[in-house]
Amino acid sequence: MDIAYFPGCTLHAKATDLDRSARAAAELLGIRFVELSKWSCCGASFPTAGGNLMTLASPVRALAQASREGGNLITLCAICYNVLKRTNHLVSNDTESQKKLAMFTDEDYSGQTRVVHLLELLRDEVGLDRLRDRLVSSMKGLKVAPYYGCLLLRPQNEILLDDPDRPQILENFLDSLGCDVVDFPFKTECCGSFLAVSAEEVATDMAHRIVDGAVRRGAEAIVGTCPLCQFNLDNRQREMATRYKEFRQIPVFYFTQLLALGLGLEEATIGMGQHFVDPRPLLSGKGLL
């Protein structure tokens, strides 16, 4: 199964572990990501100001290209997924915006591409039971807290991935890998997002609330989908350790890294070198490395 792939800027720069582990794991499951030949940054945020359509020119071009290359477009980054999915919804439901964007982009696009996240493809196309049968090693005994963040699920009527208040897609995926899934109350809270640039202390406080909440529930690691969330929850543990007494650091994985590990891929393919909190001691202690 070939599917058009939008990697996004960060996966080509800082979050290469997410890109590499996802491609390798998907190929073992019979899915080949075919990167769009011409793509540019999605804009990293969906505009909330009315009429600000120029920022959507890039995602519309990507969606139009995908429509010519099979009609499905997969992405991994929660931010890219949010922008592409919401742009597609706008073009499909707002004729005036569709016409203006067609003039901006010279693309006759009306929303015919299906935008999917890899979690969605694993759930709906591969099937989690089939995935469980393909595992080489089980994550049994690894206590992980699933973390969605705020963009993977919202707004519900446009994203349509899962219930934003009681999501289960990431929990069910982790359960299929054999993980001991730890529920915690901050799994859909914002990590601080781009406040990491403009208000670092605020972002650190927000991220600490999430990490500390997972630790207090007994999690040994956090598992997410977003490069920016991974940065805030992982790298900011440096500041958390100095600002908060008795703070305990834990690793933060991309969901694709655990998928690749369960499918038997080697550490070099999975990628572990970009973490601030090194996950290898935890995995070695569980007999997974």
Label residues 142-179 b or e (16+ Cβ within 10 Å = b). Answer: bbbbbbbbbbbbbeeebbebbeeeebebbbbbbbbbbb
Label residues 102-132 b or e (16+ Cβ within 10 Å = b). Answer: beebebebebebbbbbbbbbbbeebebeebe
pLDDT tens readout for residues 250-265: 999 999 999 999 999 9
pLDDT tens readout for residues 171-222: 999 999 999 999 999 999 999 998 877 888 999 999 999 999 999 999 999 9
pLDDT tens readout for residues 109-126: 999 999 999 999 999 999
pLDDT at residue 40 tops 80: yes
pLDDT value at residue 4: 98
Instruction: Report the run of H or E that residue 203 belongs to, with start and end.
Output: helix 200-216
pLDDT tens readout for residues 16-34: 999 999 999 999 999 999 9
pLDDT value at residue 48: 78
Which CATH code is given to the segment(s) 2-118?
A: 1.20.1050.140
Q: How far apart are CA 225 and CA 119, in angstroms?
A: 9
Indicate the residue type of 182: V
pLDDT value at residue 199: 86
pLDDT tens readout for residues 56-90: 999 999 999 999 999 999 999 999 999 999 999 99
Confidence of residue 136 (pLDDT cuts 50, 70, 90): very high
| Listed range (8-22, 41-55, 69-83, 122-136) with the worst mean pLDDT | 41-55
pLDDT value at residue 196: 77
Helix (H/G/I), strand (E/B), else coil: 244: coil
Query: What are the residue ranges spanned by the domains of the chain?
Result: 2-118, 136-285
Q: Is it true that domain 136-285 has CATH number 3.40.50.11810?
A: yes
